[in-house]
A and B are shown apart, each in its own frame.
Chain A
Amino acid sequence: MTMKDISVAELEEIANRLRIHVIEMTTAAGSGHPGGSLSAADLMAVLYFRNLNHDPSNPLWEDRDRFVLSKGHIAPVLYAALAESGYFPVEDLKTLRKMGSNLQGHPVRGKVPGVEMSTGSLGQGLSMSCGIALAGRMDGKDYKTYCLLGDGELQSGQNWEAAMFASHNGLSNLIAIVDRNRLQITGSTEDAVSLEPLPEKWKAFGWNVLIINGHNVRQIMEALDKAAESKRRPTVIIMNTIKGKGVSFMENNAGFHGKACNQQEYEQAMRELKGVSE
């Protein structure tokens, strides 16, 4: 494990930079999914700048840790993390969703270095991650497979097929993270089709369960470290988050699930995010 030596303050700074990218990218595109991107920004900063064992200059390095974005609609924050890590130039971010850009609305394997799987249709990433984790074990590799799931997508049955498969096969090299922001397009996940008791569901499916505050960088670090030590079971980190975190008018607002800022909103968001930076 080549854990990067990086401070909590530095990771918080990176997370804020990712949030700025997300707002800039989606505003420039005039569409996209800022809400869920912002809720996962702290996790993405810790993963890409501390825990993931990866080499942006060699994206297909066979011993790399794998990251699968099951909630593919938050492509903006993934692209931002990849660009900040050095997979491709940060300037490319402004091409998001534009004709001819590799930065498609949802991530596409083969188009963008660092994107492991094509996702966007919800409920499929955990199955793909099971296959990658299984291949790692067959090949005697030490890499870990991380899969970021939305909470709303857990309404999809395929996740639970994959959850059963992973624990049955003791895929301890698989780490799922649930971005528990409690909102989906129609509103509260609990009003749509309730997910609670969510930790108990995962426990019943045979997983280690860690529950953290997904905006506390130290808790994210500790949970990822602990998950990586599992020897027998897959681990799920349920991180409680706020959809739209960091931009006041987006926070806990399902309206910004899949809608970009207008000019006025953009200016306010930038003031808020850059204010934190300064």
Chain B
Amino acid sequence: MTEKLAQRNYYGKALADLARENPRVVVLDADLAGSTKISDFQKVCPERFVEVGIAEQNMIGIAAGLAASGKIAFASTFGVFATGRCWEQIRLAVAYPRLNVKVVATHCGISVGEDGASHQALEDIAVMRALPNMTVISPADAYEAYAATKAIAEYDGPVYMRMGRAEFPTITEEGAPFTIGKAKVIREGGDVTLVGCGQMVSFCLDAAEELSKEGIEAEVINMSTIKPLDTETLVASVSKTGCCVTAEEHNIIGGLGSAVAEALSESIPALLERVGTRDTFGESGKPAELMEKYGLTAAHIAEAARKSISRRR
């Protein structure tokens, strides 16, 4: 049984470590420090913690000003507010001048649960991915969230990183290095390629196990960087399997599924099935209930894989 851990706890832990390691790191909060876990940074480094109140647009402008003055600015809140409320501020103040601001969101995806659709970010990858100069990362689990936080602090430029609220199964190794833009093949197989991001990677592995019982061997790719997309790893796998399934806790429009579709159709057109929310808002419920209702489980991925294989020419 895999251990379950919340990504945001490891984000907080990474920031607290960065507080000691890198004097240039500053962290901005919009009244959600306890939920995003940036309170862990605040505890050890109150002098570089900036509370802006419930004012995300202002937060991005301040982060840009700090970055223009040599700081590495982490601005955190829930995914809907981090990308939606202040999208144009991110566009003008951060992405266009390529400033060193890290917009790091928690509470992304439908597994946010009971708070309902207003708080479930299902469009954030799409809107961030469309911004020039923006890197987009969705770590698979808590350990990878820690490593990715360290990696984006080292990288000079704008980054959007999304995480969930709930505890996710841990599937990566603690302490494994994270390279921005590098996907990892975490299970090899020749029959179908399963590409996931966020906690859906763990469900891809579960689906692969299920398929294996039927004699189908799936290759699983952890595509934790959605932009720039590791096309090389993707194409190498799909040229072997000939069919592909994407899985994301995000709208199938504009997210990982779209990125993979774009990449494949420009290189080796292959049959693609996209697992994700299907152009709809979420609702209140328990995370597991919602994942089931909106088609985001291992069983849904396995079914998509069978369909993809059956359609393969």
Contacts and interface: CB of A to CB of B under 8 A. Distances in A.
Interface residues of A, number: 30
Nearest to B61: A127
Instruction: Name the residue in A116, A127, A135, A165 with the highest tally of chain B Cβ atoms < 10 Å from its Cβ.
Output: A127
Measured as residues with beta carbon below 8 angstroms from the partner, the interface class of chain B is 20 to 34
Contact of A131 (B53, B68, B92, B98): B68
Interface stretch (A117-125, A184-192, A227-235): A117-125
A134 interface: yes
B97 A110 contact: yes
A114 interface: no
A74 interface: no
Contacts of A136: 69
A127 B63 CA distance: 9
Contacts of B98: 110
Interface stretch (B6-14, B44-52, B163-171, B302-310): B44-52
B244 to A, nearest CB: 39
Contacts, number: 101
A125 B62 CA distance: 9
A138 interface: yes
B123 to A, nearest CB: 21
Contacts of A132: 65-66, 68-69
Contacts of A161: 52-53, 55, 57-58
Given A138-B47, A138-B48, A130 B65 contact: yes
A195 interface: no
Interface of A: 108-110, 116-121, 124-136, 138-139, 157-158, 161-162, 164-165
Interface of B: 26, 47-48, 50, 52-53, 55, 57-58, 60-71, 73, 88-89, 92-93, 96-99
**Shortest beta-carbon contacts, A-B, top 4:** A131-B65, A127-B61, A135-B69, A161-B58
Given A109-B97, A117-B65, A161-B55, 4 more contacts: A124-B89, A131-B63, A132-B65, A139-B69
